[in-house]
Structure formats: C-alpha cells, structure tokens
C-alpha cells in the first residue's frame, strides 16, 4: 500500500515548464507517481502529445515558447481551471546556446548571448514571477524549483566553455536565493537543482565525443559517466513537496561527483 511518504505530492498540482522531454518529462513522471496532477509546457505539439501518452489522465499540456510570458500564464490558468489550485512550479526549460554563438567570452556573439539568456534566464523569470503572483493571489504557500547547472559555479573550461550559458545559470541561482529570502514570510519557497552532464538531447555533443566521454568517466565517477534523467527524480519530488517545507534558498548539485572530482582522464576505479 502506498503511504503519504511514498506519495508526498498526493493531489497537489504542479506546473512543469519544459516538461515534455528529457529532464522535465522524467520529473513529470516522478511527480505523477508521487500523486501529483501536472501541467507540462513544451515547445511542440508532438512532444506534448507524446508526454501525455506517458503521463496519463492526471496530466495536461500547453504548447508554447517558455520565454514568452503568456505561455506560463496559460499553463497556470489551465491548471487552476481543470486540476485545482497550484502548489508548485518546476522550471526546467532552457538549453545550450552553442549553435546560436555561445562559447568562450571572446567568441560569444551578440546573437549567442541574447538567445542563451532568453532561453535560460528570461523564461525562468517569467515562470517564477507568474508562480509568485499566483501563490499570492491564492493566499497559499507554494514551492518553486529551478533548474540551474554545476557550470554556474564549477566550470569545465576544456570541454564546456559556454560562458553565456554559465552566466544565465548563475543568474538563475541569484534570482532563486533572492526570491527565497523575500517570500519566506509568505511560505513561498524557492530552491534549485544543479545537474552536471545528463544523458539528454542537449548532451548529444558530449555523448558523441570519445574524449569527453572519457573525461566524464572521471569527472562524474559515481556512475562512470553521464547521468540519467531519472537521477534527479528524488530531489525534484523532495523540493516540490512538503517534505522540504523547512527548506528554502538552497542549491543542490545532483552531479555524479562533478564538483568533487578532477576529471583529468583517469578511468573509474573498480568497486572493491
């Protein structure tokens, strides 16, 4: 029999921005298993359709650009109309700006800077602002969980020198902590998870490069390389649920050991 401990999001409504693929979809599945009803936001009708097939009748989907303020408002309106008062927001939307011109500072193009911040920071600003406004309107506490990256505070200059991306993810931490301080008296919590390299479409470049894969075997030694989307699930459910009701303003690295490993190319040692 499932208990309150195993279903800590029982009947809570969670909006997941960027929830139709990769880390967001894995998080949405974890939330549903934990008892939540979810609204996922994705960029394409096809990804939304596939997500709903996986998530079932406890889910709804909105298709739109997360960097536009009306997209998350539409998702929250749908959630409130069909599922109930919103309890939590999980912002995952974002991604690499490398193809747009991100890279080392002296190589970053204007387009690369603007596109990377739009996708990773402007979208987060819109979703977080909408969530704060909604919780205040409802007169309820709430939880906001943001996606940042270990590259915001633990750089890897050889293989992952995308400085606009690092700046956007560092700014996400700043907004998370400042918001946590301001809204704590209202019972509205803001936290963040900081993954390292996870096996998603965004990591295709790393996964397809033998040198980077070898580097990651040592840099992320807990599993000997790239993490999996579901490696974040327990942290996501914890932060979105009342299990973390006494936690705010925190950034949790879910990184396979990235922040405590040199990653100089030494292969993973066999277990004793």
Phi and psi at residue 229, to the nearest 5°? -55, -40
Residue 20 counted as domain residue: yes
Mean pLDDT, 10 residues at a time, over the chain (272 residues)?
70 97 97 98 97 97 97 97 97 95 98 98 98 98 98 95 98 98 98 94 77 92 93 98 98 97 63 50
> What's residue 45's pLDDT?
97
* Alpha helices in 88-199, H assignment, sequence order: 110-117, 123-138, 163-183
Question: pTM here?
Answer: 0.93
Name 232's Cβ contacts closer than 8 Å, sequence gap at least 6: 23, 26, 27, 193, 195, 198, 254
**Is residue 140 in a domain?**
yes
| Residue 205: inside a domain | yes
User: Would you state the structure tokens that stand for residue 270, as one six-digit string?
Assistant: 């066999």
Is the residue at 22 inside a domain? yes
The domain tally of the chain equals: 1
Instruction: Determine, yes or no, domain membership for 3.
Output: no
pLDDT at 162: 97
Answer whether residue 246 is part of any domain: yes
User: Is 7 contained in some domain?
Assistant: no
Residue 119 domain boundaries: 13-260
Catalytic residue among 90, 165, 182, 183: 165
Q: Residue 161's pLDDT is what?
A: 96
Place of tokens 């998702």: 75
Is 183 catalytic? The answer is no
* pLDDT tens profile 140-191: 999 999 999 999 999 999 999 999 999 999 999 999 999 999 999 999 999 9
In the 8-state DSSP scheme, what is residue 121?
A: I
Q: Bridge-partner residues for 17, per DSSP? A: 41, 91
Has residue 1 been placed in a domain? no
CATH of the domain at 153: 3.40.50.720
The CB density around residue 214, as the number of other CB atoms within 10 Å, is 15
């Amino acid at each position: 029999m499932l208990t309150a401990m195993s279903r800590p999001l029982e009947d809570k409504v969670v909006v997941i921005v960027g929830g139709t693929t990769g880390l967001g979809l894995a998080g949405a599945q974890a939330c549903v298993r934990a008892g939540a009803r979810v609204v996922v936001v994705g960029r394409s009708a096809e990804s939304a359709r596939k997500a709903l097939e996986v998530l079932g009748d406890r889910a709804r989907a909105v298709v739109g650009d997360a960097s536009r303020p009306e997209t998350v408002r539409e998702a929250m309106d749908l959630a409130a109309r069909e599922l109930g008062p919103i309890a939590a927001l999980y912002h995952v939307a974002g991604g690499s700006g490398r193809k747009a011109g991100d890279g080392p500072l002296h190589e970053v193009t204007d387009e690369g800077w603007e596109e990377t911040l739009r996708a990773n920071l402007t979208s987060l600003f819109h979703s977080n602002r909408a969530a704060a406004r909604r919780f205040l309107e409802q007169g309820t506490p709430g939880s906001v969980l943001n996606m940042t990256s270990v590259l915001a505070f633990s750089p890897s200059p050889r293989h992952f020198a995308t400085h606009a991306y690092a700046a956007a993810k560092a700014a996400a931490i700043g907004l998370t902590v400042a918001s946590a301080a301001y809204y704590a008296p209202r019972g509205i919590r803001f936290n963040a998870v900081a993954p390292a390299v996870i096996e998603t479409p965004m990591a295709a470049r790393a996964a397809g490069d033998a040198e980077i894969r070898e580097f990651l075997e040592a840099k992320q030694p807990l599993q000997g390389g790239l993490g999996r989307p579901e490696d974040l699930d327990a942290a996501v459910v914890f932060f979105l649920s009342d299990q973390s009701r006494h936690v705010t303003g925190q950034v949790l690295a879910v990184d396979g050991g990235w922040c405590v490993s040199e990653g100089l190319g030494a292969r993973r040692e066999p277990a004793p």
